[in-house]
Amino acid sequence: MTKVLISDKMDPKAAAIFRERGIEVDEKPGLTPDELKAIIGDYDGLAIRSATKATKGLLEAATNLKVVGRAGIGVDNVDIPAATARGVVVMNTPFGNSITTAEHAIALMFALARQLPEADASTQAGKWEKNRFMGVEVTGKTLGLIGCGNIGSIVATRALGLKMKVAAFDPFLTPERAVELGVDKVELDELLRRADFITLHTPLTDQTRNVLSRENLGKTKKGVRIINCARGGLIDEAALKDALESGQVAGAALDVFESEPATASPLFGTPGFISTPHLGASTSEAQVNVAIQVAEQMSDFLLLGGVTNAINMPSLTAEEAPRLKPYMSLAEKLGKLVGQILGEDVRSVSVEVEGAAAQLNQKPITGAVLAGLMGTYSQTVNMVNAPYLAKERGLDVREVRHDREGDYHTLVAVEVGTSKGTVRVAGTLFGNKAPRLVELFGVEVEAELQGTMIYIVNTDTPGFIGRLGTALGEAGINIATFNLGRREALGEAVALVAVDGDVPVEMVATLAKLEGVRDVVPLRF
């Protein structure tokens, strides 16, 4: 039975969803790393929040683990490369706390504009410093968004509702989407120059680390106010302190820090600085939403093969999975075929789709080809780690989608670059569900790829089939199916022979000695 472990405190609705879907679930928050490592091998899925650290060591002990689900956005506590290398899908729930995080950013913007924390502390201390706290209106001011994805776009709509002007810097924001949102798409330098308030809504990557560096803080409009509810490390905190003290930055509010928990920071106590302890997702609604979402996503994956919000694998919805399943089976077999025949001599891979296949999500098809191909070199390969392994081997992988009509209503082809040139195999689906090979290295061969088979290249001469059948018969190997193709009469011919049982090494050597045989490769599907 499929088993999932919830190792962090999570809303009870998560466990309820797993049980409703027929998945056994254990709730064990608060385990020490050693305690978790001792039991993780029993589970197919691990549902976590931020407390559990899915380290390389833990993942190595998780011998049955198929998926890690993070109830929340950040996956800093998961070793993504280690999970990918072991074929473990890592999912998060980027939309469950989007509104909550966006609202927190707006709340901090108002707190900065009206100096609310300082005014509260002063008033409760018995002072009445009405003239000390002179705020600014947000109406008519320009809000600069660094990142205009899911959360950033929500902040934009809220700011526009407050009659603010919004400028956004985001390389992935299309001009059409900017018009739809009602924001100005600008470069970073222009945003820094124009913005009265700046909010950050981008993941932490090599490209975004210290996006508000000392240099960039110096480019901002004097008196700017900065809010960060995204990730620590996006702002040079030492430079921000200096900018606050010099008056270049009038105020800053951080919900996230480069090092967390932030029990000490040079920013603490700096005039104009507000901080909260990573509260962006801390509403009861958000906690329920992310718990429900992670349970539904993990259940769909474990039971139906659906992949939603995965960090290290293309998405494949539970609705898409049944339709794509036969294509993925075909693609994996094509990958296995070329991998077993060509061995180490694979330099590049191009996955091509046409007809009905061209209307589908191609990423899972490509992933299945790579899983079949890389299975030639490793016994622990799946669609998660196959692209990673292909990259490790230096393979150039391309995807091609053809709109043209071909000889088949649907076709998946794999073109492979080798030291001797390019070769191609292709397959289709019979009845939209039965995978069938239709082309093998330029030769038309119709065959089911299943069980044990023998690939033979020979000179097309009279009597060869008889000699081949006799050799197999004398060895006690029964032929299940016999599939033939040739380039031209008396030229090069190809045979794919399905047999019952295994093909011993000695049999391969015997077949290789038959008159006219150029190549013999045993295959397993």
Verify whether residue 231 is a known catalytic residue: yes
Does this chain's domain 3-95+285-304 share its CATH topology with 98-275? yes
User: Coil, helix or strand for 141?
Assistant: coil
Counting beta carbons within 10 angstroms of the beta carbon of residue 172, is it exposed (0 to 12), middle (13 to 18) or buried (19 or more)?
Answer: exposed
pLDDT per residue as tens digits for the range 322-338 = 889 999 999 999 999 99
Residue % of the chain over a pLDDT of 70: 100
What secondary structure does DSSP assign to 23-53, as a single string? -EEEE-TT--HHHHHHHGGG-SEEEE-SSS-
CATH of 98-275, one of 3.40.50.2000, 3.40.50.720, 1.20.1530.20, 3.40.50.360: 3.40.50.720
Output the pLDDT for position 491: 81
Verify whether residue 319 is a known catalytic residue: no
Domain 3-95+285-304 has CATH 3.30.950.10: no
Alpha-carbon distance of 404 to 281, in angstroms, equals 48
Options 104, 231, 352, 439, the catalytic residue:
231
pTM for this predicted structure: 0.69
Sketch the domain layout of the chain as residue ranges: 3-95+285-304, 98-275, 319-437, 450-525
CATH class of 450-525: alpha beta
pLDDT per residue as tens digits for the range 2-44 = 999 999 999 999 999 999 999 999 999 999 999 999 999 999 9
Options 70, 158, 201, 278, the catalytic residue:
278
Verify whether residue 260 is a known catalytic residue: yes
Per-residue confidence in pLDDT tens, the chain, 525 aa: 999 999 999 999 999 999 999 999 999 999 999 999 999 999 999 999 989 999 999 999 999 999 999 998 888 899 999 999 899 999 999 888 889 999 999 999 999 999 999 999 999 999 999 889 999 999 999 999 999 998 999 999 999 999 999 999 999 899 999 999 999 999 999 999 999 999 999 988 888 999 999 999 999 999 999 999 999 999 999 999 999 999 999 999 999 999 988 998 999 999 999 999 999 988 999 999 999 999 999 999 999 888 989 988 888 887 888 889 999 999 999 999 999 999 889 999 999 999 999 999 999 999 999 999 998 887 778 888 888 888 888 899 999 999 877 889 999 999 999 999 999 999 999 988 899 999 999 999 999 999 999 999 999 888 999 999 999 999 999 999 999 998 877 788 999 999 998 999 999 999 999 998 999 999 999
| One-letter amino acid of 486 | R
Fold of 319-437: 60s Ribosomal Protein L30; Chain: A; (3.30.1330)
Options 137, 245, 260, 344, the catalytic residue:
260
Q: Is the distance from CB of 522 to CB of 501 less than 8 angstroms?
A: no
